[in-house]
Structure 1
């Protein structure tokens, strides 16, 4: 790997790391935030509503704009969009840290999600444009290890800052990696932009409204149920907009999302595998964190620390499995990895109300990390390897949108599986569902993924 390639990889990892970390780090800070900011200045925004929207405002804008961000990356260049995104993330992080009221914090979090949406597809597209062959698979493995670790490290990092300093440091600490990323970006070549392309305004609007409505409705589902207009109305608008988006993209001569990509086997099958694997992962992270605290009596910091072995395993092994997948093809790694993770979920069925860590929790957590290490880098490489280089931004955006929405769906439906009271039996049911979803992801990959895909060339009509 050349020095220039190392710089590009470091930029891609750091830019995405902060976006993923902020999706999970805030969770353990919510009680402290509500104690400080929920009150009469917020026009009726009570503690529970504030906690929900500090998380949800970020997820709604991040999920809604990620397809548009991928298109912007392809048309205007990866580096330019990364600079805008990382600078915007820094400004909005400072705004979150200095928030005087709850409403101000919620608005700042929404804007932070806008900036975060610009980071993920641009980062992966930069890797695709810089690396090729086995080196590309290895780079994707490193990116996967560190960015996946961000979501798992969030509760631990947040617990340290909340307990020792203040919840405001959960946001303020972003300034350090952002400054480093902007400094590293100075040495990254600007790169070529795709000529003859434009931003598909109608398609971008339909995709944004479709994703925003669907994500908003799914977020509110857990608290309100399908009988609430705040749930079904946004979902209906969202689904109708997404259907209209697909219809428009099929007829637009230069679409934001070339629907022909879904004719490519690895792209289509890989996103189906992403849907079930990341749906399981979202429910796993949610269920383990809640179970260890509410049932087993772990503190927030202890619950985050309990999941740290998964992060360590992923950091240690993901790059290696990415390299192996680059040499031997992604198919059997994507088939075996989810099954290993599923076995880990089934070992958690031995947990009781005390949740003895060494004998009942640790084996499942380690197997989860191992399974994800085997799976995620080959999965990402298989999907992006099936996309023309000029479409790498939108291809990455589609895959990340699928992953984010999958987690939202399973967490929103967690009450159906767990029941009205989160107890040991409910936790066991959640683990069985996660194991089934993971095994399904492995089966889909074994049947559908090919090791030598044909990459289509984009056809653009001027």
Structure 2
């Protein structure tokens, strides 16, 4: 009997864990109505059920990558997976909205530890000649998880209960833990000191900004808490950049951004998340709050969007090999922007579903084209020893973009509409979708700034002339 190769085990384990972590970004969106009815809370509480996860996920990803480089990526993967599994159980058992938000924050901590090391564990296990395909499929799986969140969440809520969208993570996590321990090889990166001050600065800064955006419409944009969040958060982020420039062991080596490919693909990732996360958050509720569909019916009607990555991702990978990731990523973001623009143009309180389908299809095809080549372009823009940090930065910016997208588009929504009636919902939804479309269009422009050069050339460009070479990647059995 043929023995399963380590590369296959690494792909299955890291992809499954990554799927769970990515799924929990938006799996709650079609459950928000049920959660609100059961646990209470207003729209800001519902935002925090999403953003408590995405924000802790985002701000701790860089620390997770550094911990993996120093103490072992398999070890950190196991700790993160265990934390995520335990927090999922706590979320399922949450007795009130505050407990649910707290459990979601701990889920984000676990996801931040396992996600950045997943890609580097896969890199160590897969032969160099097959990494492009492996990265493409890995990226498509994670992208599909984000997109499928509303459908999976709606189906589970309708046939079981909202608690099960979290409880289902528990048996999967418990099954993966021994497999990861036995089948993944340990690997480490440069033995760096941990950048605790940098992590604290960026965490507090991002929290302040997101808090201010969420509370702006309720408290007033000139209120003391909101101004404190905006000004204080911005100041802390500037302090983070200043600290990183002079730190001997920065969480984010700023010299990586001297690579145009690295900077451009990360900016495109952040802007994609702003548009996509915010739009999915609002559109999944539109189908329920304004059009009266059940959670499962809403999820099914989003399938032209969420199901497209499964059909288009393989084609996207082939296109990226032939014409380059730069063009495919830019095309994907352009199609997503066109999809949201279409939806904003046709949506009304009583719009028929057939009129919505073209916008959903455009967005779904665009999502598939974006996710498939991103990992290949990213990993080709840095040295092998820096892939752990690069993965952490990219995932962090994706999650930061998601948190800001939900906060910003919801702020636009609440400035123009509310849940009071289908028409009031549409009044808020339309301008929010145009903001999301604009973010995606800017992301397409950023993607076009990725050089046409090969991945190897991009990786060499990431090195600064006087930079000290990092030690080679150590892999232990």
TM-score (norm 1): 0.88
Task: Classify 1:28/1:223 alpha carbon distance in 2 versus 1 (closer, same or farther; 3 Å).
Answer: farther
2:168 — aligned with what?
173
1:37 Cα deviation (Å)? 4.3
For residues 252 and 346 of structure 1, do their structure 2 counterparts lie closer, same or farther at Cα, with a shift above 3 Å needed? closer
Give runs of aligned pairs for residues 19-418 of structure 1, distance below 5 A.
19-37=21-39, 51-131=46-126, 135-326=130-321, 328-348=323-343, 349-357=345-353, 359-414=354-409, 417-418=412-413
- Gaps in structure 2 of 5+ consecutive residues: 418-423, 472-477
From the superposition, tell whether residues 60 and 448 of structure 1 become closer, same or farther in structure 2 (CA, over 3 Å).
Answer: closer
Give, in whole Å, the separation in 1 of the partners of 2:101 and 2:405: 24
Q: In 2 relative to 1, CA 219–449 (structure 1 residues): closer, same or farther, beyond 3 Å?
A: farther
Contact conserved, 1:63 with 1:404, CA < 8 A, in 2?
A: yes
1:267 CA displacement:
0.5
Match of 2:421 in 1: none
The CA RMSD measured in Å over matched residues stands at 2.8
CA distance in structure 2 between the partners assigned to 1:229 and 1:126 by the alignment: 46
1:459 match: 468
Partner of 2:17: 15
Give 2:420's aligned residue. none
1:52 CA drift (Å): 4.6
CA shift, 1:33, in A, is 3.7
CA distance 1:402–1:90, shift in 2 (3 Å)? same
Distance 1:52 1:387, change over 3 A: same
Q: Where in structure 1 do 4 or more consecutive aligned residues deviate above 6 Å?
A: none
Distance 1:237 1:461, change over 3 A: farther
Structure 1 unpaired stretches of 5+: 39-45
Length, aligned pairs only: 454
Alpha-carbon deviations, 1:379-432, whole Å to 9, x = none? 232123212222222212221222222233333232565452245465444444
Q: Please give the per-residue CA displacement for 1:83-139, whole angstroms capped at 9, x wherever unaligned.
A: 000011111111222234444333322222211211221222223333365622222
What is the TM-score normalised by the length of structure 2?
Answer: 0.86
- Comparing 79-88 with 173-182, greater Cα deviation is found at 173-182
Partners of 1:102 and 1:436 in 2: CA distance: 33
